[in-house]
Amino acid sequence: MAELSTIEIRGERRDLGRQHGEAARGQIRDSIGYYRESFKRITGLEWAQIRSNAPRWLQPIESYLPGISEEIHGIAEGAGVDFAEVLALNARGELSTHNPFADEAEEGCSSYAILPEASGDGHVYCGQNWDWRCETAGTVILLRIVQPGKPTIVMQTEAGQVGRHGANSAGIALNANGLGTRWGKGIGVPQPIIRRKILEATEMQTALRAVFESRQSLCTNLLITHRDGFAIDLETTPDRHGWMYPTGGLLVHTNHFIAFVPEQIAATYRPFSVNSLWRLPRLTGGLRAARKPGDPAAVRGTIATALRDHFGHPNSVCKHGDATSQGTDVNQTITSSIVDLTTGDYWLAAGNPCEGEYRRLPWNLYDEAAGATSREVAAAGHV
């Protein structure tokens, strides 16, 4: 199994950023190097143009999550790179499909939530296969973020980004996947900022307000799960949102609109990722087996089997790089997660889960004691 750096950061925003930047300096610079070329192929923009335009995100993100630009400044300082470059990393979703600075204006992933009535041990589980560019696998880090007055966050992210997906000590988890379409004009709040605000929530009201009060520029799916046995899936757009609840305690989403098709694209809508149409029923069917009574190890084993599904290989739930796929880059599963929100144990497989074990992270969500700092994923048990 590939190994991922685990980094614990503590303090106020600027300190958090500096610690993040220092500990992940190499990965941040690698990420900048990759996206510099990727963004140029996709948007036609030179890196100097992106750097000069990136500060246009400052006002929207500070209005939405005050103080977050301090953390981004700290990341840049710690990594020894330009602030605008880290801003660009945090807007990689916006820059990975088009030029967001123009006047006119494909991420994969399979996410799930399993409530007590659908799990054989009565626990609440959630997680996802995170599918993204093969070239970014080496830049993924695991962060434990300890902030005064806020829940502690355990999160998977690309180095330099302040938010992606994970869970917090208040028992709230976030998983996410792309929906492929976009419309509208102007600079919106980038997804890492929205996701960080969700993960800083202490209760469901604040988590959902973080979604509905944001002004975004792309469509994305957000699956929010609570340890008390609640889950909701939100198909979000620059305008209205749609939502769904679990059926029989199980909620699964991939990369196409299910709750509704937005009016702006209804007449011509086609899923941007056609394999989403089979990943959804395959993962749903596999996770139904988690209902069979058993201890947590047995339930995790069933979930792991579902996440390793290879129907439609290489464009399967466990996605492998497909050189014939459309677009400028090739996607694969870069991490796979199983989070037990009942016990607080966070299990992760780095890379394709069919090629390695799920290992428990060195931090429990509900343990306020200090965890590991800048070391590799601990082999404290595996699935």
State whether 82 and 117 are in the same domain: no
State whether 64 and 118 are in the same domain: no
State whether 129 and 262 are in the same domain: yes
Mean per-residue pLDDT over the chain, rounded:
91
If one compares 38 and 125, the residue with the highest pLDDT of the two is 125
Are 89 and 72 in contact, with CB atoms under 8 Å apart? no
CA distance 59 to 178: 25
Render pLDDT for 264-323 as a digit per residue (tens, 0 to 9): 999 999 998 899 999 999 999 999 999 999 999 999 999 999 999 999 999 999 999 876
CA distance 170 to 60: 27
Q: Choose one of 95, 129, 151: the last residue of a domain.
A: 95
Q: Which of 95-99, 101-105, 265-269, 327-331 ranks highest by mean pLDDT?
A: 265-269
State whether 30 and 121 are in the same domain: no
CA angle 202, 20, 3 (to 5 degrees): 95
State whether 118 and 227 are in the same domain: yes
Residue 380 forms part of a structural domain? no
CA distance 27 to 158: 8
Query: Does the pLDDT of residue 115 top 90, yes or no?
Result: yes
Render pLDDT for 58-79 as a digit per residue (tens, 0 to 9): 999 999 999 999 999 999 999 9
Instruction: Name the maximum alpha-carbon separation found in the chain.
Output: 57
> DSSP H helical segments within 129-180, as ranges?
none
Residue 376 forms part of a structural domain? no
**pLDDT of 134:** 87
Q: How confident is the model at residue 104 (pLDDT cuts 50, 70, 90)?
A: very low
CATH of the domain at 245: 3.60.60.10
CA distance 284 to 374: 36
Q: How confident is the model at residue 92 (pLDDT cuts 50, 70, 90)?
A: confident
State whether 207 and 305 are in the same domain: yes
Section 92-116 average pLDDT: 70
Render pLDDT for 9-45 as a digit per residue (tens, 0 to 9): 999 999 999 999 999 999 999 999 999 888 888 778 8
Render pLDDT for 158-201 as a digit per residue (tens, 0 to 9): 999 999 999 999 999 999 999 988 776 678 899 999 999 999 99
What is the DSSP track for 196-226?
Answer: HHHHT-SSHHHHHHHHHT---SS-EEEEEEE
**pLDDT of 268:** 94
Query: Does the pLDDT of residue 326 top 70, yes or no?
Result: no
State whether 292 and 157 are in the same domain: yes
Residue 379 forms part of a structural domain? no
DSSP one-letter code for 264: T
Tokens 């976030």 belong to residue: 174
State whether 162 and 122 are in the same domain: yes
CATH of the domain at 29: 1.10.10.2120
Q: How confident is the model at residue 377 (pLDDT cuts 50, 70, 90)?
A: very low
Render pLDDT for 332-365 as a digit per residue (tens, 0 to 9): 999 999 999 999 999 999 999 999 999 999 999 9
Residue 257 forms part of a structural domain? yes
Q: Choose one of 37, 67, 95: the last residue of a domain.
A: 95
State whether 89 and 116 are in the same domain: no
Number of domains in the chain: 2
State whether 90 and 118 are in the same domain: no
Residue 142 forms part of a structural domain? yes
**pLDDT of 381:** 65
Residue 327 forms part of a structural domain? yes
Least-confidence region, from 27-31, 51-55, 86-90, 198-202 = 51-55
Residue 100 forms part of a structural domain? no
**pLDDT of 324:** 67
Are 169 and 371 in contact, with CB atoms under 8 Å apart? no
**pLDDT of 366:** 98
Q: Choose one of 95, 124, 155: the last residue of a domain.
A: 95
Q: Which residues are registered as beta bridge partners of 349?
A: 336
**pLDDT of 374:** 42
Residue 74 forms part of a structural domain? yes
Q: Which residues are registered as beta bridge partners of 166?
A: 155, 174
Least-confidence region, from 120-129, 223-232, 371-380 = 371-380
State whether 207 and 78 are in the same domain: no
**pLDDT of 2:** 57
Render pLDDT for 210-251 as a digit per residue (tens, 0 to 9): 999 999 988 999 999 999 999 999 999 999 999 999 999 999
pTM reported for the whole predicted model: 0.93
State whether 272 and 123 are in the same domain: yes
Are 157 and 31 in contact, with CB atoms under 8 Å apart? no
Q: Which of 134-143, 163-172, 326-335 ranks highest by mean pLDDT?
A: 163-172
CA angle 305, 175, 4 (to 5 degrees): 70
Domain of residue 62 covers 5-95
